[in-house]
Structure 1
C-alpha cells in the first residue's frame, strides 16, 4: 500500500515539475482571421506575442471552416488583409484563369490559405505560434491575466499583460466573467429603426461548408448514404440552378465551394447549442446535414462526378469546423449600432473618431426557421470600427474580436465577415500591444497613438474608397478624416453604397468652421475678423494657419508657392484667391494645424 502511494506521489510530483509558466506581453487565443492579424500586428509593434490555436490550422472560418471566397473589403484592401490578398494572388498568378485584378473577389483553396498564414507568421519576429493547443482556464493576475493551456497531457500557464479573445465563440471572455447578450436586440433597446419591436434569441444559422471537385464525366464519387438521411429535407435543391451555384463558388483546380442557403448547408442553432457542452453534438449533426445534401446532389440529381475534394485532414473530408456567423456578444466600453454606420457624423457619440479598422461587407441573413425577422437594410456603406467595441467592459486588458464584439445583432451580420475581421484584427493587435508596451490598461487607452500605429503599418481607419493607400495624401486624409474636421460623403448607387472623401471638391466655410472653433481658442477671433465667404479659399487657409501657428504670413505664402507642386504634389496651380480643395486642405491642415494630435476618449469626445 505504501509503495503504491509513493508511486502515485512520484507521478503527481513529476507532472507538476513538467508544467511550465510562460511569460509573454500579449496572448492571442484563437487563430482565426482576426487572431492572426492581431498577433502579427502586436509582434510588429515590438512586443513579445504568443498566438495559440486549438486546431491544426490558422485562419478559422476562412480556412478551417472552408469560407474561402471573400467578397468583403475588396475595394479597401489595406493593412494586413491587403497583405494576405497579395500573397494569395502571388501564389495563384501563374494559374490560368485566376483573377488578379485590384478589387476582384478573393478566392483560394482552404489548405493554401492556411499554409500562407502559417508561412507568414513564421517570418514575424517576436511572435510564437502554437497550434493544436486548447486553453482550459483564465484568471486575473494584477492588471494582466493567467491563461492555462493543455500541452501533452500537462497544464502550462501563460502570464500575459493583455489577452485577445479571438475564438469563434467568445470562450475566453466567457470564462473571464464577461457579460453577454445574444439574438435580435429590440428597437427600443438600440434605437435602430430596422430592429424588430421585440428582442428574440434567434441567431444566424451555422453552415458546414463543403469543397467539391469535378472528377470528370465518367467518375462516380457518390458517398455512402449518411446516417439519418431524409431526402425530403433537400427537395429545395430541385428548384435552384445547380450549374449557376457551382459557377458562383468556383475555385481553382476544378474545385467548388458549396455554401448554399436554405436546405443545403445551413443548420439552425441557438447560442445554447454552441455552448462547450453541446458544441460537439451540434457540429456532428451539421456535418451529417451537409453530407446529406451532397448525397442528394449525387444520387438524386445525377451529379455523381462531383465529389468531396481531399482538402481537409478529416475522415469525412468536410472542414475542421463549421462556418460560425454569430454566437453571443460581449458588453464593451461602447456598443456599435447601425446608426454608427449609416449616420456616423450625426450622433451624440462620435465613434468614427476612435476607429481602429474598416469594414465593407453586406450583412448576412441566414435563417432556416420560418418567422425569423427579415431585415430590410438600406444600401450598406463601408464603415469604421470603434476601439471601444473590442474592449470588454469591467475586464481590464481583455479584448474581444470575431463574434464576441460589442455590436448589435444587425451590425454583427456584417462585421463578422472574415475579410472584415482580418482588417480590424490589426487594430486589435495594435491596441493590445500599446497596453503591454507602455504598461497601461484598457482604462487608459490612447486612441490617437493606436490609430497612428495602424496607419504606420498600412492599415486604414477611415473607409474612403476614393483615396487609395498609394495616394500621397492618404495619411493626411486618414488622420484628418477621423477628427471630423472634414467629413466623408455616403453615396448610393442602386443597392450599393460608398463612403467618399471627394478630394478635388471645394471646402466650404460652414463645414470646417464648427470644428476649427471647437479646437482652437483663437479661432473665433479669426473668423470674426476675416469673415471668409461661402467658399474657403487657399488664402483663407494660409491666413488661418498663420494666425494659429504664429507664422509670418508673407513667409508662409513664399514657402507654399515654392513647395506647392514639388513637395505637396498638388496639381492645381497655386492661387490664393481660388477655393481650396479638400485634398489641399487636409494636407496643409495636417501638417500645420495637426488636429490629429487632439486626444479623444472612447466615445469620440475631445479631451482637453
Structure 2
C-alpha cells in the first residue's frame, strides 16, 4: 500500500542534524515530514549509541547554537529531577557519566526522551509528521527540482511531496536517488591540495563504523557471553588491545578500572554514561559504560558501495566484532592487578541500547557520501599548523561554528589513524548547498567536506548546527520564493546571516561575547565583514575583549568592516602621521560620520564596545 503526504519541507533521516533541521524549520513556520530508519530519533547521540558528546573546551559558554545548548541542558535537567544532583562535586556542570572524553555523557534513552519532548508541540499542532522505521527508495526529479521522495518500511510505502528536501541520513542515502553529484572516500592530492591526501583518489577509503554497546560491572558474577563466531580471527585481525599508539608512535597503555602505568585515566570511565557513585555515594547504583573503542571500529568493508546482500554480511560481521571485543574483555584482557585475565562480571545491557542483542540500533557512522557543493572545506582551511591567528580560515558565508581535531579513524584499506590539531572554524553555507538539484540541502555529515576535513565536521555540535542552518535556510527560502543557491551567490547571504544571528546561531568565534550579550550581533557582523583581517591582538585571541581599546594595528580592518556593515565602500579615515600613537577618538569619529553614525559616547581611545554602541542604528 502506498500513501501520499504533502508538506513544505521533507527531511529524510532522523539523525541529530535531521532533528535540528525539523525543529528549526517548524519554529520558522514550515510544515515538515521527518523520516527515520529506526524507532529512535537522534542518530549518533541515541540510536548509534554515542551519547557521550564529542565537543570542544568552550562548549558550556560558546561554540554552539542556542537550541543545541538547550538540548544539552534538558538532558541535565532529566538527571537533576531523577536523582536530585544539580552539579558535579566541584561545582562544574553536571555530567551524568562523569566520563573523561566528554563534558556530557548520558544514557541514549534520555536523549531520545528529550528530543521527543522538544518536538512534541510541533507534532501536536500537526506542523510536524514523524515517520519511523522508514528508508528512502525512490525519488521523482523534474529538471532541476525534486518533486517527491518515497520511503518504505513498516509494511507500506509513503510518497512525500514537498517544496524542499533535506538529506539528513548518515550515509547520504538520498543523494543517488535524486541525481545529486557526490563523492566518497579520499580525494586525490591534486584535487584538494591537501598535503595528507593520497596521490590518487581512493573512493572506497571510508572511515570505519562501530556498533556501540553498554555494560555494567558485577564483581563476583559471571555474565560471559557465548563466544562469537569467528572470534579468534576477529580478535587477531583488529587486534584487540587497550594500548593505543600516539601520533608520535609512543604506546599509550590503559588499564580497565585503574589509572594506567603512564597516568592515563581508566578505560572504564572513557565513555561512561552513568556514574553510580555520583548519584548514590553508598555504591548501590552501578556504573553504565559505553564501549566505542578502536578495537570495535569496523574498517574492513565499505557500507556505501556495498550491495544489499553485501551490506547484510558486513553489518553481521561488524556486530560480531563488537561482541567479540566484549568477550575478550570478559575472558582475555589482562586484569589490572596482574592476577589473571578477563572480567566475567561485565554484563551486557540490552535495555540501554533498546535492542535484543545489546548493540546500538544502528552503527555509529563517521563518514558519508558527500555532496559536490557550491563551496568545499579542505583540511588546509582548518588545520592549526602554519597559522598565527586564533581562528581557522575566515569564510564570508558562515552559517555556524565548530571545533574539533581532524580525527580520522582507520578506513577501508588504510589502517592509519589521524588526530591533528585544528583551529576554531566556521561552517560555510555553500558547503550545505549541492550543485544540483536546486531544492536539496545537506543536513548531516554529507556536506561539502573532503575525506580529511570531514574528520572535524562530523561531531555532535557541528552536525546539529549543520542541520539547524539547513532547516532555517529551507524555511527562509520557502517564505521568499528563492532557492538556496540564490541566497549564497548574491546579496541575500548577509540578510540570511542576520536571520541566523537573530536566532542565536554564532557565525564567528567570540568566546567572551556569546549569544545574549548586548554586543553579540554587532560583533558578529563586524567579524563577518573582515574586522580581524588586520592581524591585530584580537585576531590572535578568541576573546574580543570588548572593553579594551581598538588597537591601531587592527583599526583599518575594524573600521572598514564597520563601513561595510553600513553599506559603504569608503575607506576609514586614519591619520598615518599618528602611527605610533593609540587610535584616537577623532579618527574613529571621522569614520562614523562617513557611515552616518553618531560618535556620542565614544571614548578616547575608543573601545570595541564603543563601536558596537555606535552601530545600534544599523541593527
TM-score of the alignment, normalized to the shorter chain, above 0.5: yes
Kindly report which structure 2 residues correspond to 1:121-200, keeping only aligned pairs within 5 A, or say none.
121-124=119-122, 126-141=127-142, 143-150=145-152, 152-200=154-202
1:290 has 2:322 as partner: yes
- Give the superposition deviation at 1:129: 1.8
Q: Distance in 1 between matches of 2:22 and 2:413?
A: 40
Which residue of structure 2 lines up, in the alignment, with residue 581 of structure 1?
Answer: 607
After TM superposition, give the deviation of residue 265 of structure 1 in Å: 3.9
| 1:527-546 superposed matches below 5 A | 527=573, 533=579, 535-546=582-593
Quick check: 2:377–2:448 contact (8 Å CA) kept in 1? yes
Q: Of residues 106, 112, 120 in structure 1, which corresponds to 2:104? A: 106
Q: Which residue, out of 544, 549, 554, partners 1:501?
A: 544
Q: Shift in Å at residue 90 of structure 1?
A: 0.8
Q: Distance in 1 between matches of 2:505 and 2:30?
A: 19
Deviation at 1:304, TM superposition (A): 1.3
Q: Distance in 1 between matches of 2:194 and 2:236?
A: 39
Summarize deviations over 1:415-447 as a string: whole Å, max 9, x none.
011221012211111111112222221232232
In the superposition, relative to structure 1, how do residues 275 and 406 fare at CA in structure 2: closer, same or farther (>3 Å)? farther
SS in 2 for 1:195: coil
SS at match of 2:478: helix
Counterpart check, 1:299 vs 2:340: no
Q: Secondary structure at the match of 1:402?
A: coil
Given that 1:27 and 1:49 are in contact with CA atoms closer than 8 Å, whether structure 2 keeps it comes out as yes
Say which SS state the counterpart of residue 129 (structure 2) adopts. strand
Native 8 Å contact 1:178 1:392 kept in 2: yes
1:48-447 maps to which residues of 2 (within 5 A)?
Answer: 48-73=31-56, 74-75=59-60, 76-94=63-81, 95=83, 96=85, 99=88, 101-102=92-93, 105-124=103-122, 126-141=127-142, 143-150=145-152, 152-201=154-203, 202-214=205-217, 216-230=218-232, 231-233=235-237, 236-237=240-241, 239=243, 240-243=254-257, 244-252=266-274, 253=276, 254-261=287-294, 263-270=295-302, 272=304, 276=308, 278-300=310-332, 301-309=341-349, 310-342=351-383, 352-367=395-410, 372=415, 375=418, 377=420, 379-445=421-487, 446-447=492-493
Q: Secondary structure at the match of 1:170?
A: coil
Q: What are the Cα deviations for residues 306-351 of structure 1, in whole angstroms up to 9, with x where unaligned?
A: 11112133221111111110132110111112333359999xx986
C-alpha distance in 2 between matches for 1:151 and 1:483:
48
Select between 352-361 and 87-96 the one with higher mean Cα deviation: 87-96
Cα offset, 1:78, TM superposition: 2.8
Q: Could you tell me whether the CA contact under 8 Å between 1:357 and 1:426 is conserved in 2? A: no
SS in 2 for 1:223: coil
Kindly state the Cα deviation for residue 457 of structure 1 after the two structures are TM-superposed.
2.2
**Normalised by the size of structure 1, how large is the TM-score?**
0.81
Larger Rg: 1
Partner of 1:10: none
Q: Could you tell me how far apart the structure 1 residues matched to 2:72 and 2:215 are?
A: 23
Residues 580 and 26 from structure 1, CA distance in 2 versus in 1: closer, same or farther, beyond 3 angstroms? same
Cα distance in 2 for residues equivalent to 1:381 and 1:247: 27
CA RMSD of aligned residues (A): 3.2
Go from structure 1 to structure 2 and tell me whether the alpha carbon gap of 1:134 and 1:238 turns closer, same or farther (over 3 Å shift): closer
**Partners of 1:490 and 1:266 in 2: how far apart?**
46
In structure 1, the gaps of 5 or more residues are: 1-14, 562-573, 595-608
Number of matched pairs: 545
Query: Secondary structure at 1:138's aligned position in 2?
Result: strand
Q: Secondary structure at the match of 1:404?
A: coil
Counterpart residue number, 1:605: none
Residue 456 (structure 1) aligned to one of 492, 497, 502: 502
Q: What is the match of residue 523 of structure 1?
A: 570
Give unmatched runs, 5+ long, in structure 2: 96-102, 244-253, 258-265, 277-286, 333-340
SS at match of 2:453: helix
Q: Is the CA contact (8 Å cut-off) linking 1:33 and 1:422 kept in structure 2? A: yes
TM-score (norm 2): 0.80
Q: Shift in Å at residue 367 of structure 1?
A: 0.8
CA 1:298/1:373 → structure 2, altered by over 3 Å: closer, same or farther?
closer
